[in-house]
Amino acid sequence: MIFIVGVAVVVAWALGWSLSNWNQPLRKVLPLYAIALGGIANLIDRVFRDGHAVDYMVLNVGPTHTGVFNIADIAITAGAIYLMIDLLVQPRKA
């Protein structure tokens, strides 16, 4: 239940912020849309599949098992990484 509520809160925040700031540059809102939509997809899985999200991609590098994930996880991770990079890399002032 904690995962469902936690995901719902983060998704609601990301979607609400994105929709209320739709006039912001695409680089600001696109990562939040990715996070929100990935969260919605995982939330739907958790609600309809007894609290579990369906993971169907297995990534192995040689003998190392690196993870099991789905497209929603990729969207969430890519959005979060993009936001971190955008926050860390400030444009130079002329």
Q: Which residues are catalytic?
A: 55, 73
User: Which residues are bridge partners to 60 per DSSP?
Assistant: 65
Helix residue ranges, H only, 21-70: 26-48
Give SS3 for 7: helix
| Six-digit token string for 21 | 């700031």
**β-strand partners of 58:** 68
Question: How many Cα atoms are found within 13 Å in the side-chain-facing hemisphere of 90?
Answer: 3
